Chains A and B, each alone.
Chain A
């Protein structure tokens, strides 16, 4: 079945440093969604990418969808302590369900 892998699993950064998480699917995706889950919280939708090669920005966050629509990345510029949490990517699979990646847990040292 489809697999969605995310790397790294954990990332410690100093406040102000950049951060990137990568998402790779074993199959081509029609779209990819990104979610953020704060410690003790629930996943919150960030963005959806649909087009091949698409790039979207939300303030300090930049999301990319690969040309082959099998990979995606989330880049945060100049991290802040409010960026702490786990970032998940998710893509639809042939079984009509969203498959979530394992997530990247971001920790920011002030």
Chain B
């Protein structure tokens, strides 16, 4: 079975721009979660989607949003980028529930200049 894939792998943007990241979960997995990883804050939960609905949301500003499509693929969007948004964005899929085993993708490394 193919693993979780994320595109693009690397991205450089400037402050004020917006960005869209994509995630394809493992086939058959219906829950997709997004995490932000930074050296200072560690791994922080952004949101989780299941059946095209956002089920859970972490403590991030409204500039961070996401969606899930009928094939379980998910995208996250960050608008009005700030320098502090530079991070590794990880997508994780699981079978059904947000607390099932998380299978992480390789991540998208976002740099904001």
* Nearest residue, chain A, Cβ from B103: A45
How many chain A residues touch B (CB < 8 A): the figure is 22
- For the complex, what is the distance from the CA of A99 to the CA of B35, rounded to whole Å? 11
CB-contact partner of B42 in A97, A98, A103, under 8 A? A103
Q: Is B51 an interface residue (CB 8 A)?
A: no
Interface flags for B78-105 (1: CB within 8 Å of A; 0: not) read 0000000000001010000011011111
- For the complex, what is the distance from the CA of A51 to the CA of B105, rounded to whole Å? 29
- For the complex, what is the distance from the CA of A36 to the CA of B28, rounded to whole Å? 24
* Nearest residue, chain B, Cβ from A100: B43
Q: Which parts of B41-83 form the interface with A (CB within 8 Å)?
A: 42-45, 48, 55-56, 58
Interface locus among A13-21, A60-68, A88-96: A88-96
CB-contact partner of A42 in B33, B58, B90, under 8 A? B90
- For the complex, what is the distance from the CA of A39 to the CA of B98, rounded to whole Å? 25
Q: Which parts of A62-110 form the interface with B (CB within 8 Å)?
A: 88, 90, 92, 95-103
Are B42 and A100 in touch, CB under 8 angstroms? yes
Residues of B near A90 (CB, < 8 A) are: 43, 102
* Nearest residue, chain B, Cβ from A99: B45
B4 to chain A, nearest CB (A): 9
Are A97 and B48 in touch, CB under 8 angstroms? yes
- For the complex, what is the distance from the CA of A97 to the CA of B35, rounded to whole Å? 11
Once A42-B107, A43-B90 are accepted as A-B contacts, the answer to whether A98 and B101 lie under 8 Å apart by CB is no
Please list the residues of chain B having a beta carbon within 8 angstroms of any beta carbon in chain A. Answer: 33, 35, 42-45, 48, 55-56, 58, 90, 92, 98-99, 101-107
Please list the residues of chain A having a beta carbon within 8 angstroms of any beta carbon in chain B. Answer: 30-31, 33, 35, 41-45, 48, 88, 90, 92, 95-103
